[in-house]
Amino acid sequence: MEDFKVYLCVSPAETTQASQEGFPLCHMAYRIGKDFRLYRSGVGVNVRKGIMLLSNFGLEYTEIYSSILLHDIKRECDLRGYSGILCDFEKSADERLIRFLYEAENMFPDLGIDLYVPATYADHAPKSHVLISSAVTAGSFVESMSNAIERYPSQRIALYYDPICVDIVIPSPSGERTTITRSKLVELIREYRPLSYYSHELCSYYFTYRDNANSSHFVLYDDERSMVRKLETARRVGIKQAFILYEDVRQYIEKLKSFQSN
């Protein structure tokens, strides 16, 4: 599967183990902190190559934008040999982050450093890669990916694998759903012993059950099989890159080996 690159997103504690798997890494050790400067946590001195994940988690609204952040990031990329910056910005319409992206786009691509942004910020960073979530819970996964390609050139898109695990009480006119943990999923399967089915439209598995209050439930979830199918589908429609949390796939990392770049 050439021309399709999978990045493992890793915490500092996971770096040593994940680096042995043969995939490029996206390092989740950076955030925008006090005085709008770059903060890092737990990055080993020997960490080299891959991509920096830059979070705005915990950024105070009182912090004033500073262009010094750009120079902090450049210095770190030079030191580590990072080839990209994944902007994990949790909220949209933050004028400071929009300004950062505007300046970053005028600086980093010329240095050979790619930018990756959430879809909510794509219009503010027209030269950057756009992160599209794999968590499709209605309609069609293929259609969702195709719609993204209609909006952005396929070379701009990077899939963010976000495994689904939701419980929906049916009927649900409002579409309300509850995200459940993997342990809760296992508990439900153990208690109700439902038959699981594969949805070709959603590229995920599902089952139904009736609880003790006689309410009907629809559970939609991903596992290693649907993960592989989603990655294969993304590659087939022309997407070239994907990001996956190492924590989500470490138990079945071998299933990803066929996606390793040659």
Q: Does one domain contain both 205 and 228?
A: no
The domain spanning residue 177 has which CATH number?
3.10.50.10
The residue range of the domain holding 215 is 166-220
The domain spanning residue 77 has which CATH number?
3.20.20.80
pTM of the model: 0.92
Q: Does one domain contain both 213 and 140?
A: no
Q: What is the pLDDT of residues 149-190, one digit of tens each?
A: 999 988 899 999 999 999 999 887 666 789 999 999 999 999
Q: What is the pLDDT of residues 104-142, one digit of tens each?
A: 999 999 999 999 999 999 999 999 999 999 999 889 999
pLDDT reading at 1 higher than 60:
no
The pLDDT value recorded for residue 261 is: 66
Q: Does one domain contain both 215 and 229?
A: no
Q: How far apart are CA 45 and CA 38, in angstroms?
A: 17
Q: Does one domain contain both 139 and 204?
A: no
Q: Does one domain contain both 174 and 99?
A: no
Q: Does one domain contain both 103 and 216?
A: no
* Structural domain total, the chain: 2
Q: Does one domain contain both 125 and 202?
A: no
pLDDT reading at 85 higher than 60:
yes
